[in-house]
Structure 1
């Protein structure tokens, strides 16, 4: 579902367009009307059971997802979707810390549905996120990732994220214990 940013009231400078491997790719700020498609795509990633610490029964319904998109934006955060040929393929979010003590920080979360992995979309989402964070006064981005997700860890390191901590044996994925890795980048 492509959105006309001029009609949506969103700043057009927060939209990026690319041509990647023959596909039209658009990164843009999510709007509440995206909630249904975002929920559907996110359910696909949750179903894999290897990247996100969620289960299908904890996934927010469309109304809650709509509220989440609005809340993140209302609290000076970023909720970005990546569209491939007009279909939402993933998202990236920056949830800011509370006003006052930690508003200069943000928690990063991202996901892509399987069909669109390996196209370089993760890099584009991360570059977009870093640029957006700098433009909006975020000084530190935090994230967590399972230690088995070596591809993501390599990408985060490439873009300047450093290890801040580890919770050993934090989860069981595919019958094996995995550590939760905490990384951060100062801007």
Structure 2
């Protein structure tokens, strides 16, 4: 499995929510959602009944966002009903075009259920893919829940906007928070183990890597799937499946091909292929499994995953495989999109079971070489 099934890091509700780009036909439901939000929260800019935006104006706004590379509107839909949204509005002047400003809101009845985290995660993935450098937002200094969420995604407080707002007759301070994405690594020359692309170096894992691989894998797993905290089942899964001993055994396994990605002598990601591992849902041929492809969050969007995947495919072909398959979690939309864009096809449903819990995965596969070495 390249992406382990979620140990319910998201709640069942967040897992069921659909996070997608808003389209013109969402205009009326988005206006209704915003009015409901204005009526139940003092953390938003508008007061109840203050907005005078018409449906056609909202359609025009959504249409304009489609043509802007640094702007987007995302909506969270649960059982066909919008329950949250995120606006990312980019700056239009050339000297600010690398930046965007976020506004996020979720219905009070759905607070603490992972909806905001899902929206923010999708927005951060979009901002990196769009090549943006700076993502910023403002938040009430008393909105501790939101501040904690933003910090989880790497936002830092840049400053204090004193008496920025007046709410119910009193002055309210806001924090200005931001994330700065690292500059992307050029990807015009494919890297192979032992070669570098700009700062990135890919090489085969060695026994001394087991400790760092263990810690990085735990970090990526928990950052992705334990967004609502740690449960005993999650803790046991991480400490057993991602231990230093587990990686020592994997490195020594003759069927394993583990490639590590380094920048400035620091481990930032890895790919783990199991040669000859087959699955009935994968296309017929000499199969291998992409067991894991993990990249540390600050290095996503810098082509590290792309380079690791290319190297994983090369290693599988070199070992005689012509099909590479993996099983990402059904709700890991960023991973699903990543593999689809690189030619992997959805071959059906499979499940990941641990601690008595069953979680839906999808099996993705790609033919990486002509079968039987034919041209």
Q: Is the 8 A contact 2:14 2:118 kept in 1?
A: no
Q: Which residue of 2 aligns with 1:123?
A: 117
Q: Which residue of 1 aligns with 2:32?
A: 40
Q: Which residue of 2 aligns with 1:7?
A: none
Given the alignment of the two structures, is residue 81 of structure 1 paired with residue 83 of structure 2, yes or no? no
Q: Is the 8 A contact 1:27 1:80 kept in 2?
A: yes
Q: Which residue of 1 aligns with 2:162?
A: 168
| TM-score computed with the length of structure 1 as normaliser | 0.83
Q: Is the 8 A contact 1:29 1:79 kept in 2?
A: yes
Superposition pairs of residues 105-116 of structure 1, within 5 angstroms? 105-116=99-110
Q: Which residue of 2 aligns with 1:103?
A: 97
Task: Name structure 1 gaps, 5 residues minimum.
Answer: 1-17
How far off its partner does 1:46 sit? Answer: 1.1
Range 165-174 or range 155-164, more displaced:
165-174
Cα gap change, 1:172 to 1:100, in 2 (>3 Å): closer
> Which of structure 1's runs of 4+ aligned residues deviate more than 4 A?
none
Cα gap change, 1:150 to 1:108, in 2 (>3 Å): same
| Counterpart among 65, 78, 88 of residue 94 in structure 1 | 88
The structure in which a higher percent of residues are strand is 1
Task: Name structure 2 gaps, 5 residues minimum.
Answer: 1-9, 182-375
Given the alignment of the two structures, is residue 31 of structure 1 paired with residue 23 of structure 2, yes or no? yes
> Over residues 59-106 of structure 1, what are the superposed CA-to-partner deviations in whole Å (9 max), with x where a residue is unaligned?
422222112211222212211111011111111121111152111100
How far off its partner does 1:171 sit? Answer: 2.2
Q: Which residue of 2 aligns with 1:5?
A: none
How many residue pairs align between the two structures? 170
Given the alignment of the two structures, is residue 62 of structure 1 paired with residue 51 of structure 2, yes or no? no
Cα gap change, 1:131 to 1:21, in 2 (>3 Å): same
Q: Is the 8 A contact 1:45 1:51 kept in 2?
A: no
C-alpha separation between the residues in 1 aligned to 2:91 and 2:63? 16
Q: Is the 8 A contact 1:162 1:185 kept in 2?
A: yes
Q: Is the 8 A contact 2:84 2:116 kept in 1?
A: no
> Over residues 107-159 of structure 1, what are the superposed CA-to-partner deviations in whole Å (9 max), with x where a residue is unaligned?
11111112221211111111111111111111110101111211101111121
Cα RMSD for the two superposed structures: 1.9
C-alpha separation between the residues in 2 aligned to 1:172 and 1:102? 28
SS in 2 for 1:50: coil
Q: Which residue of 2 aligns with 1:146?
A: 140
C-alpha separation between the residues in 1 aligned to 2:12 and 2:62? 27
C-alpha separation between the residues in 2 aligned to 1:59 and 1:144? 23
C-alpha separation between the residues in 2 aligned to 1:99 and 1:65? 23
Given the alignment of the two structures, is residue 180 of structure 1 paired with residue 169 of structure 2, yes or no? no
SS in 2 for 1:101: helix
| TM-score computed with the length of structure 2 as normaliser | 0.43
Q: Is the 8 A contact 1:91 1:112 kept in 2?
A: yes
